[in-house]
Amino acid sequence: MDDDLRNNQLASSLLNACDGFKLESTDENLPQLLDFIEFFRYLSHFGESKLASIYTSKIEKILKLKEKNLFKSLNNDPNHCSRIIAEVKRIGFSDTERVIIGFLENRSRYIKECLENSRDFAKKDPKSGLNEVILTLKKGLHSTVLCYRTVFGGVDVHLSTFVNKSIQDAMSTIRSILRENDMGDIGSEETLDLSRELDSISDSFGSFGLSFKSLIMY
């Protein structure tokens, strides 16, 4: 009975504190939100407080939005990503596999945007558009692989699948630009420099076990 009384008193105090606490997600108040939700979940589990369940639901929504925004902020900087991923794991909704998927979904959108920009460049200058695709592979995709290996510890099926899909999209973009501007095809005499560039990039990915020469298909 004494324990129940202490729990009720603590719950009441915490609920009052939460009532005066600004329920929003900031870097400063994240620790308090996590403390609140941990205790409210404890109370809800034992049926101690209906109000605790209400606050738990509110804070979970705030934290899920926080997690979503954290995933959106990911980039190819390993230090930045490590910090963001630590925050995501601290929130506690996502396990390691879900974090990996979230990172690669973010980077897939990034690669897609780069390739869309390449098509826009190609409308004014086809060679400039092709150069943008090459830069997407050499810098964007390559740095994504480096970041992934640093943060998640190596190459796995998630990364290899992501790279293959990104390469296929890049090759499709290249062929579309070539076709729309009557510039021949990959491997033809008109595109020898482009073919050599793709071979060189493929070799650089080969050091990770991710060579994509089979996807170039001359």
119 with 167, same domain: the answer is yes
Residue 43, in any domain of the structure: yes
Asked if residue 81 is part of any domain, the answer here is no
> Residue 205: which pLDDT band, with cuts at 50, 70 and 90?
very high
Residue 196, in any domain of the structure: yes
Amino acid 1: pLDDT: 45
Domain for residue 164, yes or no? yes
Higher pLDDT, 202 or 24: 202
Tell me, yes or no, whether 176 and 105 share the same domain: yes
What is the pLDDT at residue 133?
97
Residue with tokens 């501007």: 181
pTM beyond 0.85, yes or no: no
Three-state SS at 153: coil
Distance of CA 188 to the CA centre of its chain: 37
**Residues 150-159: what's their mean pLDDT?**
95
Q: Are 121 and 58 part of one and the same domain?
A: no
Q: Flag whether pLDDT at 152 surpasses 90.
A: yes
Q: What pLDDT shows up at residue 190?
A: 77
Q: Are 186 and 174 in contact (CB under 8 A)?
A: yes
Q: Choose the final residue of a domain: 10, 42, 72.
A: 72
Q: Judge whether 39 lies within some domain.
A: yes
pLDDT of residue 26: 58
pLDDT at 102 over 70: yes
Q: Are residues 63 and 152 in the same domain?
A: no
Most confident of 54-58, 129-133, 193-197: 129-133
**pLDDT above 80: residue 22:** no
* One domain for residues 57 and 109: no
Residue 110: which domain range? 94-216
What confidence score (pLDDT) does residue 35 get?
Answer: 78
Question: Is residue 86, in this structure, part of any structural domain at all?
Answer: no
pLDDT at 149 over 80: yes
Is 110 in the same domain as 161? yes
Q: Which pLDDT value is given to residue 217?
A: 64
Higher pLDDT, 50 or 174: 174
Q: Does residue 4 have a pLDDT over 60? A: no
pLDDT at 23: 56
One domain for residues 98 and 58: no
CA-nearest of 134, 158, 132 to 210 is 158
User: What does the alpha-carbon distance between residue 151 and residue 192 come to, in Å, rounded to a whole number?
Assistant: 37
pLDDT at 132 over 80: yes
Please give the tally of structural domains in the chain: 2
104 and 207 part of one domain: yes
Instruction: Give the DSSP per-residue string, 170-195.
Output: HHHHHHHHHHHTT---TTSGGGHHHH
C-alpha count within 13 angstroms, C-beta hemisphere, residue 142: 17
Are 107 and 197 part of one and the same domain?
yes
Both 34 and 99 in one domain: the answer is no
Q: Tell whether 64 and 126 lie within a shared domain.
A: no
pLDDT, residue 214, reads 84
